[in-house]
Chain A
């Protein structure tokens, strides 16, 4: 029964899963804010398949956000290359990627425009890109917000709704552009555990529906294993891949997974690697760069 309904609306999912391959090859990033070179990312290579949920785990300030910023086009890279679906985003001769709606970021502290209603926020992308008229974009925004359970607050400003609702609306604002990749930068960092679990399930639901490639940065290992297809543990600065964990847990997933045996085993296996880096980062006492 599930397969039948899945096939019925799988046309877009199947298309979506063919796009959004990210290839990070030998990327190095050196900052020199005070005349002293700081190596944030060193010779980092990650291949992400189309439609994969790739979780990047590492201690705060380890350089994981640097990678995200390079993909999004907020920061340049020093050497190496990043491709999206075979096309170079940044690399030799072009250190800074162009910003574009094919890679939409959901920010750590939330970046819905506080001066626009949720519906206006969501409709913003298609309007400025010129892909929809104002009326079309607004209509689609209202529909998509309703789909995410936000129909009652579409006309409200971000300051009037809970942080959980705001973050969900921000993901809707990204999805309306039909992006190849969703870049999430510790989006649930400041949330309490209960809200966080609701956020996780709603993100899983979005993923099951769209099969969009997700590049998700977090320092929460359980979150990473619960959501991801693959968890990449990064070393503390300079960031390199330390350990890669394949999460072969079936989808769709829900909160019951958290108490299952296979989940606990995966967490136990990976905890050591994460903890080791956290200790190193703590002892180095480095502040975050980006």
Chain B
């Protein structure tokens, strides 16, 4: 027992992260992910390359895709070892970075004010609700008319979709804050700006980050749609271009790559959220562990 310090300060920062990682490998959790992926690949392989059941036999099989993906000399011209593969990833990621930053930079402040000020909400909410249900694909012609370049319509579409989600969630986040925190702030002598900084902003963060998680997914969705319609480079472009010239293996490779990159960006948003909401992490940790 003596080697277990009970009351002293626990690890923090990197060492805490390493401790948690090490601990999690002692549980079945991380292995389950591999089992899940393995099962999925096996089913895919079984249906496609082994049993050759329609419609699965019409798409490239997992062995074919993986071989091509890791090939130094790809049959269809694109793999981990070719420059255009990375160029497409870079193009899409850069667009997501810009679109997501714009959407967050505009959506969060707008949502905060809408949730905070009844009057401001009355002005803006009907417009938001009118524009929000318009599917992002319906904006495509308009965006092409509005912007002359290749790049701008794509950014516009990705930003727009993401912006609506972020704004709405942020507004709901402010409205979810318990009235007693506002009252407590009031009777402790806060002015309006203090309430905004110390109650509205931190209190809405849990909802804001839920919104950002959805919003980055929506940004990817609309980005790829836009890249397929107009644009040069990018994973959506890669999918569409491969399809046009019957390079189905490259097409599936681009789809899976999208999955991975999207997963990583979501994880980054989650990590940023945990970092900014230590109070929540710790309170939850107390309850859970």
Residues in chain A within 8 A of chain B (CB atoms): 72-74, 99-101, 103-105, 107-109, 111-116, 124-125, 128-129, 156-160, 173, 177, 183
Contact = CB atoms under 8 A, between A and B. Distances in A.
A73 B279 contact: no
B183 A105 contact: yes
Size category, B interface:
20 to 34
A113 B286 CA distance: 17
Interface of B: 178, 180-181, 183-191, 194, 198-199, 202-203, 205, 277-280, 282-284, 286
Contact of A73 (B178, B187, B188, B202): B187
Contacts of A108: 180
Question: What 9 A-B pairs come out closest when comparing CB atoms?
Answer: A159-B283, A101-B189, A115-B202, A99-B186, A129-B189, A111-B184, A125-B188, A111-B180, A157-B279
Nearest to A103: B187
A192 B28 CA distance: 38
A157 B186 contact: no
Nearest to A130: B189
24 contacts: A72-B183, A101-B187, A101-B189, A103-B187, A105-B183, A105-B184, A107-B180, A107-B184, A111-B178, A111-B180, A112-B184, A113-B181, A113-B185, A114-B280, A114-B283, A115-B277, A115-B280, A116-B279, A124-B188, A128-B189, A129-B188, A156-B282, A157-B278, A159-B282
Contact of A100 (B183, B187, B199): B187
B203 A115 contact: yes
A105 B188 CA distance: 9
A157 B191 contact: no
Nearest to B195: A128
A159 B203 CA distance: 14
Given A113-B199, A113-B202, A124-B198, A159 B187 contact: no
Given A115-B279, A157-B279, A104 B187 contact: yes
Contacts of A125: 188-189
A112 B180 CA distance: 9
Contacts of B185: 113, 128
Nearest to B276: A115
A102 to B, nearest CB: 9
Contacts of B188: 101, 104, 124-125, 128-129, 173, 177
B190 A128 contact: yes
Contact of B183 (A101, A111, A173): A111
Contacts of A116: 198, 202, 279
B280 A159 contact: yes
A48 B282 CA distance: 42
Given A114-B283, A157-B279, A159-B286, A177 B184 contact: no
Nearest to A115: B202
Contacts of B279: 114-116, 157-159
A248 B268 CA distance: 63
Nearest to B205: A115
A289 B107 CA distance: 36
Given A128-B194, A159-B286, A160-B283, A105 B202 contact: no
